[in-house]
Amino acid sequence: MRYLKDIRDGEQIIGHYLCKQKQNLKSRNGKPYISLKLQDKTGFVDGKIWDINCDIDEFEENSFVKIDGVVSVYQGEYQINIRRLRLSMEGEYDPMDYIPCTDQDIEGMLEKLKIYIDKVENIYLKKLLQSFFLSDAEFFNKFIHHSAAKSVHHSYMGGLLEHTLTVVSIAEFLASKYKQVNKDLVIAGAMLHDVGKIKELSDFPSNDYTDSGQLLGHIVMGAEMVGEKIKKISDFPESLELLIKHCILAHHGEFEFGSPKRPKIIEAMIIHCADNSDAKIKLFEESIQADSFQGEWVGYNRMLGRNIRKSDF
């Protein structure tokens, strides 16, 4: 198949792709057209159906479709102008070709996860982490295969595990630079900060927001999940429960970023800074990796609100 990362301006594309988004729109002169977001494991591309005719079959979001179109460049990004489209038939495609996956070694990341759990000296926090990552096989299997986002950073299989480990490593480093920091609380909070993502986002290939994800969000659900585990740990200190839940509820830092609480303890601030740093820097990395044009400038990133330049010299 022709992967989206390899497409070039002017070429004809005939192949099977996953339709992640579909919008029925109208042009300025009132003519209806269809705007799509197509995906394979290498990335996304916009698709446009300007002429809705008998060569365009009925289809819905999260369907596999076979397209016939031509690649063009619009505002610095590739776009496929689709002339024909039909639903893909079973056996015509391999679903794994459409599921983006981490390039990190899963087994290696799992070993690092266990090392961090071993570093925690507080018996209650250690039991809490073990109840998620060692004793709960259903949670663990979802966690290691889940994405960390729908379409922003780490939006691929294994992305949640990769993001969590990076946040833990950054948070541990920051904790070592300051006094009055409980390192066990930092490690535990960093490991648990995004556990609610397994309920906020559906499994691949859809990787979309669930009803509970839309209505509650991963921050609230993560705090609830932690509370449920704590109920099963005898004599878990109430004050410690408040602190670990606060680290989860405050990890987005500000109300305008969806955080129910702002960080009020040093450990929560460290976790927020680690989470924010990895998310923002990963956006830079993914933008540079996805760029297939010649030149120093990658282009405008809407999430970061700026143009990004490669630092080649």
Name the pTM for this structure: 0.81
- Per-residue pLDDT tens digits for 179-208: 999 999 999 999 999 999 999 988 877 788
Paired sense of beta strands 77-87 and 43-49, if any: parallel
User: From CA 98, how far away is CA 38, in angstroms rounded?
Assistant: 10
For residues 299-308, average pLDDT: 84
Task: Tell me the CA end-to-end span of the chain in Å, nearest whole number.
Answer: 35
3-class DSSP state of 210: coil
Closest listed residue to residue 206, CA positions, set 61, 102, 96, 92: 61
Q: Is the CB of residue 55 less than 8 Å from the CB of residue 85? A: yes
Radius of gyration of the chain (CA): 22
Place of tokens 């500000």: 254
Q: Is the CB of residue 17 less than 8 Å from the CB of residue 88? A: no
Q: Is the CB of residue 34 less than 8 Å from the CB of residue 11? A: no
Q: Which residues pair with 45 in a beta bridge?
A: 38
Q: Which residues pair with 299 in a beta bridge?
A: 308
For 25, list phi and psi in degrees, rounded to 5: -125, 180
For residues 31-59, average pLDDT: 90
Best mean pLDDT range from 71-80, 166-175, 198-207, 301-310: 166-175
Place of tokens 């932690």: 226
pLDDT of residue 211: 95
Q: Which domains does the chain have, with CATH numbers?
A: 4-97 (2.40.50.140), 99-288 (1.10.3210)
154 pLDDT band (50/70/90 cuts)? confident
User: From CA 139, how far away is CA 164, in angstroms rounded?
Assistant: 15
Tokens of residue 310, six digits:
């490669």
Q: Is the CB of residue 286 less than 8 Å from the CB of residue 296? A: no
